[in-house]
Amino acid sequence: MKKRSGIPTFNLRGRGKEMFEIAKVSDPLLLQNNKPHRDENYILIFQERGVSRVMIDFREVEAKGCAALCILPGQVHHGVYVKNAVFWFIAVDADWIHHSFRSVLMESAVRNRPIAVEPSQVSFFQESFGLLQRLDARWQQDPRLEPTLRSMLDVCLNLFSSAIQQNLDLQARHHSRPALITEQFRKLVLANFRVMKSPAQYASSLHISPAYLNEVVKETTGYPVSHWIHHEIILEAKRTLFYTTQSVKEIAFKLGYADPGYFNRLFRKMTGQTPLQFRQKIKLP
């Protein structure tokens, strides 16, 4: 199969939406439009029942029964398999998500695994998501409902993040200063990894010392600052190698490396293979 020249990227504005979009779908609809792509917004998925598998950045993630899953902005994903599945999807811009919710969603997405939703919470999810969908439809006709709509969106986000907290044991630490600094750092990396390569640059942006930034990031995630910078660079390189026909030199340049040789060495150090070896071993699904 011929590879595309780029990875399709979708956003809410392109679908005529503003702060969020909500939909309830079942497997016939899910089997449509499942080409690899990325979204500029967060995707929150609540699976009511069934079995599904989705590929997220080269990892196949399976959800069974009632489950919750978050896909971060920029992650390349597509559906692989569904059986008797019913889903709720909420696509929401980062600006509409409180920072305490974002830190939880980011932690969940980094782990790339669905969260089992407790039976006692299922009806709350169904009723809250259903009410949000109805309010959204009404708001299109009556803009005065916007404050109510925003409040209901917060209810759904709170339900979602609470389910994740219970499963990942994040309740005690997601409000701590190290966790907040780590979240700010990870957001900066996602936005700037093409142009900012040094830990000192990120520390300067956060108005803290490089040593302190490295200490809190390692305490919170288990890895130093440089790991996360290189992680995003190599992940984006893999996406481009996998889904496009761009040359290694072109990819290196787009990732901020004027010297392709240095980029090749970094890629090999992080993955154990060169970019071309990685490309030769993979095939588009």
Do residues 109 and 198 share a domain? Answer: no
- Residue 16: exposure state from Cβ atoms within 10 A (0-12, 13-18, ≥19): exposed
Is residue 1 assigned to a domain? Answer: no
pLDDT tens across 222-238, in order? Answer: 899 999 999 999 999 99
Domain, as residue range, for 246: 177-281
Q: List the chain pLDDT tens, one digit each, 285 residues.
A: 445 557 888 988 888 887 899 999 886 666 555 788 889 899 999 999 999 999 898 889 999 999 999 998 888 998 888 889 899 999 998 888 887 788 788 777 777 788 889 888 899 999 999 999 999 999 888 989 989 999 999 999 999 988 887 776 644 455 578 878 988 898 899 889 999 999 999 999 999 999 999 999 998 888 999 999 999 999 999 999 988 899 999 999 999 999 999 999 999 999 999 999 999 887 644
Closest CA to 124 of 171, 170, 175, 68: 68
For residue range 112-127, list pLDDT tens digits in order. 788 889 888 899 999 9
Residue 189 pLDDT = 92
Query: Quick check: is 4 in a domain?
Result: no
Give the pTM: 0.75
How many structural domains does the chain have? 2
Predicted local confidence at residue 19, as pLDDT: 83
Alpha-carbon gap, residue 55 to 60, rounded angstroms: 4
CATH number of the domain encompassing residue 184: 1.10.10.60
Give the number of other Cβ atoms within 10 Å of residue 73's Cβ. Answer: 17
Q: 124 and 18: one domain?
A: yes
The CA–CA distances, whole Å, from 31 to 1, 53, 139, 241 equal 19, 11, 30, 25
Pair (79, 120) in one structural domain: yes
**For every residue of 236-279, which 3-state class applies, written as one string?**
HHHHHHHHCCCCHHHHHHHCCCCCHHHHHHHHHHHHCCCHHHHH
Question: 140 and 184 share a domain?
Answer: no
